């Protein structure tokens, strides 16, 4: 199982690193069909955000507060698992505090329990939400890098926003 997950992730990162130009998004699935990793490339690097700029995944709600300049570089959907697992990683120049605060405000506006969490560093902003059933929840991390780029990581168990 671990080997089948590792190959698509390694393949996705290898494609991202090669710098080839491809406007289409490809889906790489494991042999077991349980994991899908989407990969997309754009022709231009946008102010250090990278050449990979994938479309918003279909599982992410349309009103989810992803920063306008976000360059999505990895999405994972393990929909056959119980509960399903989803992940998104993106780069942005948006303020990390604001990204985490917007996530909490968005979740609360949908009636979910959401909170900011304490981090061990002032360069990491954390937030989480849960639906109360213990199975469906999501966590958001925003990692600030020295070059002013922030890496946003969203991981969800189930689809707590439905």
Give the bridge partners for 38, in sequence order: 27, 75
Residue 108's pLDDT is what?
92
* Residue 141 CA from chain centroid, whole number: 9
The pTM for the full model equals 0.70
Which residue shows structure tokens 């505090």?
Answer: 97
Pick 53 or 47 by higher pLDDT.
53
Percentage of the chain modeled with pLDDT above 70: 68
Query: Rounded to an integer, what distance in angstroms lies between the CA atom of residue 125 and that of residue 117?
Result: 8
Nearest to 5 by CA among 26, 31, 27, 25: 31
Residue 52's pLDDT is what?
76
pLDDT at 132 over 50: yes
Query: Rounded to an integer, what distance in angstroms lies between the CA atom of residue 12 and that of residue 26?
Result: 10
For the stretch 8-20, pLDDT in tens is: 333 333 333 333 3
Residue 116's pLDDT is what?
94
Residue 97's pLDDT is what?
94
pLDDT at 23 over 60: no
Residue 22's pLDDT is what?
38
Average pLDDT, rounded, for the chain: 76
- The residue-averaged pLDDT of 108-119 equals 90
In total, the chain counts a number of residues equal to 162
């Amino acid at each position: 199982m671990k080997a089948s997950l590792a190959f698509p992730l390694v393949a996705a990162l290898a494609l991202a690193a090669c710098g080839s130009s491809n406007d289409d998004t490809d889906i790489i699935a494991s042999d077991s069909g349980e994991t899908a990793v989407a990969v997309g490339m754009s022709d231009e690097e946008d102010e250090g955000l990278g050449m990979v700029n994938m479309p918003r995944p279909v599982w992410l709600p349309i009103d989810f507060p992803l920063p306008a300049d976000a360059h999505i570089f990895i999405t994972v959907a393990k929909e056959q698992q119980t509960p399903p697992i989803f992940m998104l990683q993106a780069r942005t120049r948006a303020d990390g505090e604001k990204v985490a605060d917007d996530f909490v405000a968005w979740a609360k506006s949908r009636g979910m329990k959401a909170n900011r969490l304490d981090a061990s560093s002032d360069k990491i902003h954390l937030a989480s939400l849960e639906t109360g059933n213990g199975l469906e929840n999501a966590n958001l991390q925003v990692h600030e890098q020295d070059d002013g780029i922030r890496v946003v990581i969203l991981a969800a168990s189930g689809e707590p926003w439905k």
